[in-house]
Amino acid sequence: MPTNPLQTIMNPESIVYLGGSNSMLTMGTAQLINIVKGGYKGKIYPIHRKEKTVLGLTAYPDITSMDKPADLAVIVIPGKAIPGVLEECGKTGIRHAIIITAGYGEIGKKGKLLQQELIAIAQKYDIRFLGPNCIGIVNSAIGLNTTWFPSKYRAGHVGIISQSGSYVTQTLTYFEKLGMGISQAISVGNQADIDMVDCLAYLGEDAQTRSIALYIEGIKRPMAFLKTARKIIPQKAIIALYVGGTEAGARACSSHTGSMAGPNELYNGFFHQAGILRARNVTDLFDWSLALAQQPLPKGKNIAILTNSGGPGSSMADEANHCGLKIPLFSQDIQNKIKAITPFTAAYVNPVDITMNYDLELLYKKLPELILNLQTIDGLLFYGIFGTIHFQDKIALASDLSDIPLDLMEQMMEKACNEFIKLPEKFKKPILCACFSGREDNAVARIQDGGIPVYPTPGRAVRAMAALWEYKKIKEAIEKGQTALSEFESKKLLASYQVPITREILVKDGESLLKAAHQISYPVVLKACSPDIAHKTEKGLIRVDIRNDDEAKVAFNEIVVGMNGNEKTVLVQEMIKGKRELVAGLTRDSQFGPCVMFGLGGIFTEILKDISFRVSPLEKRDALEMMHEIKGHKILDSIRGMKAAELNILADILIALGKIGLENENIKEIDINPLILSAGKPVAVDALVVLET
Amino acid sequence: MPTNPLQTIMNPESIVYLGGSNSMLTMGTAQLINIVKGGYKGKIYPIHRKEKTVLGLTAYPDITSMDKPADLAVIVIPGKAIPGVLEECGKTGIRHAIIITAGYGEIGKKGKLLQQELIAIAQKYDIRFLGPNCIGIVNSAIGLNTTWFPSKYRAGHVGIISQSGSYVTQTLTYFEKLGMGISQAISVGNQADIDMVDCLAYLGEDAQTRSIALYIEGIKRPMAFLKTARKIIPQKAIIALYVGGTEAGARACSSHTGSMAGPNELYNGFFHQAGILRARNVTDLFDWSLALAQQPLPKGKNIAILTNSGGPGSSMADEANHCGLKIPLFSQDIQNKIKAITPFTAAYVNPVDITMNYDLELLYKKLPELILNLQTIDGLLFYGIFGTIHFQDKIALASDLSDIPLDLMEQMMEKACNEFIKLPEKFKKPILCACFSGREDNAVARIQDGGIPVYPTPGRAVRAMAALWEYKKIKEAIEKGQTALSEFESKKLLASYQVPITREILVKDGESLLKAAHQISYPVVLKACSPDIAHKTEKGLIRVDIRNDDEAKVAFNEIVVGMNGNEKTVLVQEMIKGKRELVAGLTRDSQFGPCVMFGLGGIFTEILKDISFRVSPLEKRDALEMMHEIKGHKILDSIRGMKAAELNILADILIALGKIGLENENIKEIDINPLILSAGKPVAVDALVVLET
């Protein structure tokens, strides 16, 4: 797999910069200042036709006059000069660029032609570039900010990919107020070359990035996007804001970065399919990304609310119910425990409301620990942060009257906060807080800096908690999700490619069981059938050679009892008699793609490993050769009075398997085992199709 | 009507304060500091058993030792001492109190009894009080803040009534960040005496209050609440956050201020009925209140978006579509006009996106004026605020490199903002802005201070705009709403009180018309029938003496054509022949209540004004006297071969009218005109019931 070009673009060791000058009022200079002064430690080479130095750095008159190629060119010059510059990059060996300049695909036909020109030059020289019409990138790990907004961001774990530059620049102050740190942020602009999918793949691999926020106006390569997202979701959450789904939204987008927007509902389905959380607005996008980057996931949806003020507690409870969380009543026992340590005015049913009390020990430690320790509680919503800054305010107001021991209070508060922020890690449960004050409140700042999100309203904390739970469900679904087809489904697929399979019927109760058995006619085989059940034989979930209704009923009941937890579905199958068991299958190799396997089946597969392989697609000759290649190939001959195997049918099966592999990218493996020779004719008696996840 | 007790509670000339000391760490002292230092100019009398002075003010050992009664007692002392203090208030002539102390109705049975005790004492001495279990009040007009949160609020036009103290205290810093000023804020606590309805009525009358934000956990007097709200809505918007509607919400509330919460859907209907905007969360509650307090209402839902960044513009367009606003395409002509003055990279269809341009003249003046001047546009959503603070940041970052002429830029920005903030008033159209920076951005602060809300995200600005439009629709519906019953409905009501009316059938098409005419039998009268249509005769919407189907069809079509804009409903009525036309009616006098009127009807009502009145309820004698009282009473006798009027029936009609008035508070006026004597028997031929609004 080729290296992702963003590796270099996001982590350049040297940058050549086109468009900066010594006039602070141009956009280009503003961006260069951020690179020069933002903490970036690499080399910076400004290009300027006249000036000897730019912002104190030695300037070069053009790219060709540089000694050696820089890792990255950042281009902010007027559009008409860009093709020439790109040519120079190509000739001097610069292979990565960010093109900030606008006026391309987004402005219509003429712009599209100019964009084609850039693409052609880039392809000629193997240059990979972001943009045009983008705002640049931020990589907090190396202090690199190529955007024009001052570098007032904090390093953290939210990665951002945006089709709007504003969401990685103007929002930086917004993030700061939320106490939200970012890992890397990428403005993709017109995606003439590098697109969202590349960025997604890159951030998926980035260790600093723990959640990924997307601002989307339209997706160019939906299938690749889907595949990339699915690969990332089990490790980190992806949250998307899509705005092209309404008529005016689409109109706004098409004149913006030239995206083709699809209907809202389509994207709903698409995001769902990918496992992406869809945010309805900017607020949710970043609120959720923050929580998902910083907090453990709740194991269930049972959340406790702890507050020292009724209104915000009630607001939390109300919102929790609206967004699918549960605020379960505490047991009488727990209620008594809480009652014993709280003031008489407190409520202790959940929400726990200690009513205007600021006992730091109680609020930040005793109660959260008691609550988070409960098996029945999966997370905590907290309202009750109140820093000593408010006492400072009081002193400022009444300095002539003050006798507040502020130092002591600050020490106590610091201690309380420091213990509080350890709780999510200690209990492996999420805490999200709300406070109407922001970071001007020193306790809010302390708690945010300690990794627990503090949101400006109760409702926003609750919706973020719901997002954690939503992601947890998605993860779970993927983890225990359908990674394989059931035997029944697997054989349906094989049959559709003309692979001979056993006659079989799926049944769920005694009545349909007997009906199916009669239809197939005794003797039959009964098998537990569920994609979640592997190793049926070992688990005693197969009964063979069943001769009559009574035997069938007994077998059915035994199998059903053994399938605890799974859907009670049983496969009634014709009994194939044949002593020669073969195996045929498909595996997907990272280099060769789908490969077909043939060999001795049944218990001999593991023991003898007598198998042969071919890369798909197979010609008939390949298939026949495979059969001859195995050591035990004599099994296919007419032996011991058994008919010779019908090699043509066997060959067709192997060719079909290769075809399935080529035509179904989502299939990772196929295992037909045993493939029994019944009077010389092969029949797939058991089969398993494993899916890509 | 008795004076609202909140007049004094919110505007006391003197306050006696119980619960303050010289220890800054008690809640009571914190609250007293706010009163002493918050700008309040009235007299403050702290009560303290031991101290001679409290916070520098002369203290009194108890209430009885004061020279004269204060307007208001603020009580923060422990509950057990309060009955005694209330008794002292009563005896010394203090008639208003705020009881902050908790531990009453909200904690269960024992607390309820204590609360009853307070109520009993208050009733004995005619004391009106807020609370208990409340946090106090803020009146920005007189600098009075009896809560414990520092007085960092700004004076403005949002009034707040809250069942949670936090929403009028801890939110003050939240408001400040939004640039939202408040007029008066009231924490109602347990509403043992003064309740939400009283507060609503008070803020409804307050000139400073232009919108009212409610935080509701349950409503005690729903009908009074409804009536009070309805009276206020035509003048100012009411926005409510109700959190008791879900199971956990209700549980949280009941342990909080002891509210009885009702189901969510019930409150939906209730708020709708009252004309109250329902906010789903705290964010919307205050966002909407701010916009409704400060911006003119849009005349329609056609909104323009002006931005200098695509992403936020697209987000606005997307959200607008989701919340029922329209972002109409500009006409080609307008597009050309915009294109002519914007950069080539700009979009000009609506949204107008001038793409990363900060031409102040263009962004703050030329484009908004061009857009707001359009007949087809009802309001403006704006993204593009960028104060010089960001250049200051740049200078701070690169102080060694700077050559930015900050003074000049600040002047230009100030000028641009000053013109921008005048636009809503100039064009009578709302402007709402979004900016990811807050008040730390000097342009954001300037624009907020100039009265135009600036929200932290694009979506929030759009939802606030939708709230303006929602309120506009509510207002309109009230203004042109059903202020009267249709003739058909009016007569149904009269008939239910045994008033004789014409036989009549409502029809909507030709087929039912003929069927109705045959049922009533020719000759018939056809009348347009809609509560919105007054003066039917003048508008030619009545046809009398129709003899056959052909005439009926012609008359029907003519009437329907004349009813443009209204529902096409026509009344088919028996033709009452009779030359003597009377009038009978009901009017509601502010002093006397429902009064019954009788006199000469038809055209003579206006000309001769020969009428008599009686206050309801009427005895038969009253009714008979009324008839004799009019100058033209001889019309009732047997004249010109016509039968004498049946006075008993007439008397019953007048008595019935009085009864209707007494039994239906929502009926403001009834007008039966003409009441025709047909062979001596009175029949209500036309009638109008006017409703209270």
> Which residues face B614 on adjacent strands?
B596
Measured between its terminal Cα atoms, the distance across chain A in Å is: 19
- Residue B310 is nearest to which of A34, A172, A256, comparing CB atoms? A256
Q: Which residue of B has its CA nearest to A307?
A: B252
Q: Chain B partners of A33 at a C-beta cutoff of 8 Å?
A: 394, 397-398, 401
Task: Report the alpha-carbon distance of residue B164 to residue B133 in Å, rounded.
Answer: 9
Chain segment B191-235, per-residue pLDDT in tens: 999 999 999 999 999 999 999 999 998 888 877 888 899 889 999
SS3 B93: coil
Return the CA Rg of chain B: 32
Residue A265: per-residue pLDDT: 59
Contact A390 B321 (CB under 8 A): no
Tokens of A48: 């300027």
User: Whose CA is closest to A282, among B291, B312, B385, B283?
Assistant: B312
Contacts of B25 (CB under 8 A, 6+ apart): A404
Is B629 within 8 Å of B596 (Cβ atoms)? no
- What amino acid is encoded at A298 in this protein? P
Residue B549: per-residue pLDDT: 92
Q: Which residue of A has its CA nearest to B106?
A: A345
- What amino acid is encoded at A577 in this protein? K
Task: Say if pTM beats, i.e. exceeds, 0.95.
Answer: no
Mean pLDDT for the stretch of residues B397-419: 84
Which run of H or of E encompasses A161? strand A155-162
Contact A321 B249 (CB under 8 A): yes
ipTM, interface predicted TM-score of the complex? 0.72
Residue A149: per-residue pLDDT: 80
Task: Report the alpha-carbon distance of residue B312 to residue A168 in Å, rounded.
Answer: 12
- Residue B436 is nearest to which of A171, A391, A436, comparing CB atoms? A171
DSSP state of B79: G
User: Whose CA is closest to B380, among B462, B467, B441?
Assistant: B462
Contact B255 A347 (CB under 8 A): yes
* Helical H segments across A323-457, by residue range: 332-341, 360-361, 367-372, 389-397, 406-420, 423-427, 442-449
Task: Report the alpha-carbon distance of residue A189 to residue A199 in Å, rounded.
Answer: 12
- Residue B438 is nearest to which of A56, A107, A177, comparing CB atoms? A177
Question: How many residue contacts between A and B have a Cβ separation below 8 Å?
Answer: 307
Is A138 within 8 Å of A184 (Cβ atoms)? yes
User: Whose CA is closest to B39, among B121, B139, B108?
Assistant: B139
Mean pLDDT for the stretch of residues B363-390: 95
CA dist list (Å): B249 to A304, A334, A354, A651: 13, 20, 17, 67
Lowest pLDDT segment from A292-301, A625-634, B251-260, B596-605: B251-260
User: Whose CA is closest to A61, among A71, A77, A48?
Assistant: A48
Is residue B132 reached through a cis peptide bond, with omega within 30 degrees of 0 on the bond before it? Answer: yes
Task: Report the alpha-carbon distance of residue B402 to residue B406 in Å, rounded.
Answer: 10
Highest mean predicted confidence (pLDDT) among B16-25, B181-190, B489-498 = B181-190
Q: Which of A152, A318, A382, A454 to mutate to test the interface with B (most CBs of B within 10 A)?
A: A318
Return the CA Rg of chain A: 32
Residue B587: per-residue pLDDT: 86
Residue B26 in contact with partner chain A when CB distance is under 8 A: no
Angle at B474 between CA B586 and CA B164, to 5 degrees: 105
Tokens of B388: 């010089």
Burial class (CB in 10 A: 0-12, 13-18, 19+), B644: exposed
Contact A246 B318 (CB under 8 A): yes
Residue A395: per-residue pLDDT: 78
Residue B273: per-residue pLDDT: 64
DSSP state of A176: H
Residue B344 in contact with partner chain A when CB distance is under 8 A: yes
Residue A565: per-residue pLDDT: 58
Task: Report the alpha-carbon distance of residue B463 to residue B476 in Å, rounded.
Answer: 20
Residue B464 in contact with partner chain A when CB distance is under 8 A: no
Residue B259 in contact with partner chain A when CB distance is under 8 A: no
Q: Chain B partners of A356 at a C-beta cutoff of 8 Å?
A: 27, 102, 165
Residue A180 in contact with partner chain B when CB distance is under 8 A: no
Q: Which residue of A has its CA nearest to B463?
A: A281
Name residues 266-305 of chain A within 8 A of B (Cβ): 280-283, 305
What sign results for the dihedral spanned by CA atoms B43, B49, B51, B52?
positive
Tokens of A499: 């692979």
Task: Report the alpha-carbon distance of residue A131 to residue A146 in Å, rounded.
Answer: 13
What sign results for the dihedral spanned by CA atoms A540, A545, A550, A556?
positive
Contact B356 A27 (CB under 8 A): yes
Burial class (CB in 10 A: 0-12, 13-18, 19+), A390: buried
Residues of chain A with pLDDT under 70: 1-2, 151, 245-246, 248-250, 252-266, 268-269, 273, 401-403, 480-483, 531-539, 564-567, 591, 603-604, 606-608, 693
Tokens of B494: 């009269």
Burial class (CB in 10 A: 0-12, 13-18, 19+), A72: buried
Residue A529: per-residue pLDDT: 84
Domains of chain B: 6-292 (3.40.50.261), 296-474 (3.40.50.261), 503-574 (3.30.1490.20), 580-691 (3.30.470.20)
Q: Which of A161, A171, A243, A321 to mutate to test the interface with B (most CBs of B within 10 A)?
A: A243
Task: Report the alpha-carbon distance of residue A127 to residue A5 in Å, rounded.
Answer: 9
* Closest CA–CA distance from residue B191 to any residue of chain A (Å): 15
What sign results for the dihedral spanned by CA atoms A352, A355, A361, A364?
positive
> Which residues face A484 on adjacent strands?
A690
Residue A617 in contact with partner chain B when CB distance is under 8 A: no
Task: Report the alpha-carbon distance of residue A161 to residue A185 in Å, rounded.
Answer: 6
Mean pLDDT for the stretch of residues B384-407: 80
DSSP state of A65: G
pLDDT band, residue B685 (cuts 50/70/90): very high
Residue A120 in contact with partner chain B when CB distance is under 8 A: no
b/e map A160-177, b = 16+ CB within 10 Å? bbbbbbbbbbbbbbbbbb
Residue A604: per-residue pLDDT: 66
Residue A80 in contact with partner chain B when CB distance is under 8 A: no
Q: Which residue of B has its CA nearest to A100?
A: B356
Residue A612: per-residue pLDDT: 85
Q: Chain B partners of A404 at a C-beta cutoff of 8 Å?
A: 24-25
What is the edge-to-edge ordering of all strands in the sheet holding B303-307? B347-348, B352-353, B303-307, B379-383, B431-434, B454-455
CA dist list (Å): A45 to A32, A72, A692, B20: 10, 10, 46, 67
Residue A531: per-residue pLDDT: 63
Contact A281 B353 (CB under 8 A): no
Task: Report the alpha-carbon distance of residue A626 to residue A629 in Å, rounded.
Answer: 5
Residue A406 in contact with partner chain B when CB distance is under 8 A: no
Residue A607: per-residue pLDDT: 64
Q: Chain A partners of B79 at a C-beta cutoff of 8 Å?
A: none
